[in-house]
Amino acid sequence: MSTRLTVPTAHPYEVVIGNGVHDQLRGLVGADVRRVAIIHAPTMAAQAARLRAPLAADHLEVHLIEVPDSEQAKTADVLAFCWKVLGGAGFTRSDVIVGLGGGATTDLAGFVAASWLRGVRFVNVPTTVLGMVDAAVGGKTGINTAEGKNLVGAFHEPVGVLCDLDVLAGLPAREMRSGMAEVIKCGFIADPTILDLVEAAPDAVADPTSSIVAELITKGIAVKARTVAGDLHETGADGSIGREALNYGHTFGHAIERFEHYRVRHGEAISIGMVFVAELAHRSGLIEKDLLDRHRAVLSLVGLPTAYLRPGIWEALSTTMRLDKKTRGDQLRFVVLEELAGPTILAGPDESVLVDCYRAVSS
């Protein structure tokens, strides 16, 4: 059994969620394709070979492009390496890129597809909870620079996404927890039933084979699909917060990632970032203390960090945040809650309040 969710953008595509759905890759690749490049991390080499076999049996020319693991893949040098492989193989606009792996791999693969010949088709095959719920859906692609995370990229939507839940059984516990941060984020900004599920069965959330995990992933993807459909390019043109809501916890979280040279998992940093902006919303008079406390409680239930015990580095984090994509001029902007499932933008908060929020999560 599988679930299909449509991302109803100008060029709609389906996200297929279930066990054993990798065998649907051939249908997503398309009938007119001659060459397929599967971009994957070293840990996904065996899975890449399994994906390759039926494509090759159908007389497609399949190239396996191995890239570094995690955020080390998202560099200009790795991007150029991928271009070199595509150029050597004679990739044309009718050929297809497949991104197999976690969020960093699918971010890179999407940008390779967006930049090669000004845009070729690509399919995402995420292999982590984080990749399924966040990176693989929505068409945000990109790489990092020395100055910050995801500062170079493009909006380029996949033609389909395959979320095979079977692969989660092999995930390390820390990776499962990290991915759940993005799921819980969706609960705070849009679908509180996610929080209810986590609170009711925290032990099941740690079991990648549980029906609760499948339900949480499906709900998280549904939030992402609805949100990006209304504001694909994050313009907020209709006057609403739009897609920016998905950045809840990310401004402070990305600063932590950058400062720690990505040794802290994305979800761990975003978990702390959500507590930071909950503190900011509470201290700015937007939410009550019980909603602030619920952030710490729910995130702690699944073993995610709610504090960043690095006092004395506010200036470094603040400098990094000012390079965040949500910043306008010199004005910091944060996604915060006015109420549960009621996100908004708080622009230019007082520096002293931000320092107090930092102290609250660093001690």
List domains and CATH numbers for the chain: 2-170 (3.40.50.1970), 173-361 (1.20.1090.10)
- What is the pLDDT, as a whole number, of residue 328? 65
325 appears as a binding residue in the annotation: no
Looking at residue 238, what is its pLDDT? 74
Q: Is 250 annotated as a binding residue?
A: yes
Ligand-binding site membership of 306 (annotated):
no
pLDDT in tens, 248-293: 999 999 999 999 999 999 999 999 999 999 999 999 999 999 999 9
Q: Does 324 score more than 80 pLDDT?
A: no
Pairing between β-strand 96-101 and β-strand 121-126 as defined by DSSP bridges:
parallel
- At 294 the pLDDT is 98
CA distance 106 to 136: 6
Q: Is 11 annotated for ligand binding?
A: no
* 127 labelled ligand-binding: yes
Alpha carbon of 161 to those of 98, 124, 230, 261, 310: distances in Å? 10, 5, 19, 29, 38
> How much is the pLDDT for 327?
66
Q: Are 144 and 73 in contact (CB under 8 A)?
A: no
Q: How many CB atoms lie within 10 A of CB 172?
A: 9
Average pLDDT for the chain? 94
Tell me what percent of the chain is helix, strand and coil, each rounded to the nearest 5.
50, 20, 30
CB 105 within 8 A of CB 71: no
pLDDT digits (tens, 9 = 90+) for 173-206: 999 999 999 999 999 999 999 999 999 999 999 9
The pTM of the full predicted model, rounded to 2 decimals, is 0.93
The reply, when asked if residue 103 is annotated as ligand binding, is: yes
Name the DSSP class of 318. Answer: H
141 is in an annotated binding site: no
Does the annotation list 128 as a binding residue? yes
Task: With cut-offs at 50, 70 and 90, classify the pLDDT of residue 1.
Answer: confident
